[in-house]
Amino acid sequence: MAHLPSLQTLRAFQAAGRLQSYSKAAHELGLTHSAVSHRIRELEQQLGVTLFRRVGNTMTLTTEGSQLFGKITQGLSLLEDAFGAASPSVHATARTIVVSSVPSMASTWLYRRLAEFREAHPGIDVELRVSERLSDYKREKIDVGIRLGAGGWEGLNAIRLFDEALSPVCTPAYRDTLQLRTPADLQRATLLRNVWTPWVRWFRAAGLNWPEPSSGPMFDDSPLMLRAALDGQGVALGRHWLAVDELRAGRLVMPFKVTVRDDFQYWVVWPTGRTANPDAALLRAWLQAQAAAETHPCPLDEASSTDPG
């Protein structure tokens, strides 16, 4: 397996993608900035693709980088599950919160806020586990979870973080080039598709009698679809809380005011009937405060509500 990158190289890439910064990745891993940069450059040369591009003061994953990020994050998580108990991390601290999250939220809103939590509470470490499945929190000793759904999970306490809504998003350049001024102008656009967020509901809310698109790039990962929109590949029907930082930075825009309320919400969950980790309670309260203080990119009281059928 001489062709495989080293574990240090994979960790450097994963940390840089998660933190959107070579410097922060270097600090987290105890390396120099040049060492992280060198390892990522070697990985790019080996794969023959560009993994990052600089956007302002951040290093943003390209489409290829986002695909690799998801696979490496999953692989490292499996390795940590396999060896974590027998070989504790040298970075482990006496105070650790184990957090589980759906991948879409883990790679967007949540990981930036967890970084801010660690800065505010340097004596507490956070272990983030990314999974689509609803884990066995008691058996896997998970303290806090972030889930997308309707709530009411057996064996879990749940507090709603925020509602979710959907609206078309694209880059300002794409909007201006195609002159997207009214919803009907989308007939000139490439529509990026995701099986979990069908377009037809938004079409109805916008007064368009259009069927579900049968062509256009298809993604099974919402953040990856947003990356494609950032690359100017088309218009995505984006979840607002996944796109919120890109919208606030102006890298993505919502060309129309029509918004559809999603059927699901984001929740903070934690197991019932187990002695609570006091630091986990602190994190839950902190995440609730962060969510309450956030200004929604499109206020939900202005959002169109459609029947889920």
Q: How far apart are CA 277 and CA 101, in angstroms?
A: 18
First and final C-alpha spacing in the chain: 50
pLDDT at residue number 296? 55
DSSP state of 308: -
pTM of the entire structure? 0.59
pLDDT at residue number 275? 59
pLDDT digits (tens, 9 = 90+) for 159-172: 888 888 899 999 99
Contact 20, 227 (CB under 8 A): no
Closest CA to 288 of 96, 197, 157, 131: 157
Domain ranges within the chain, ordered by starting residue: 1-91, 93-309
- Least confident piece of the model among 39-53, 107-121, 249-263: 107-121
Whether 127 shows a pLDDT value over 80: the answer reads yes
Whether domain 93-309 has CATH 3.40.50.720: the reply is no
Look up residue 225 and give its amino acid: M
Extract the runs of DSSP E, i.e. beta strands, from 183-225: 191-194, 218-219
Closest CA to 121 of 294, 278, 293: 278
pLDDT digits (tens, 9 = 90+) for 78-107: 776 665 544 444 444 458 899 998 887 887
1-91 matches 93-309 in fold: no
Question: Could you tell me which residues are beta bridge partners of residue 193?
Answer: 218
| β-strands 218-219, 96-101 pairing | unpaired
Give the residue, 277 or 207, on which the prediction is more confident.
207
- The fold for domain 1-91 equals Arc Repressor Mutant, subunit A (1.10.10)
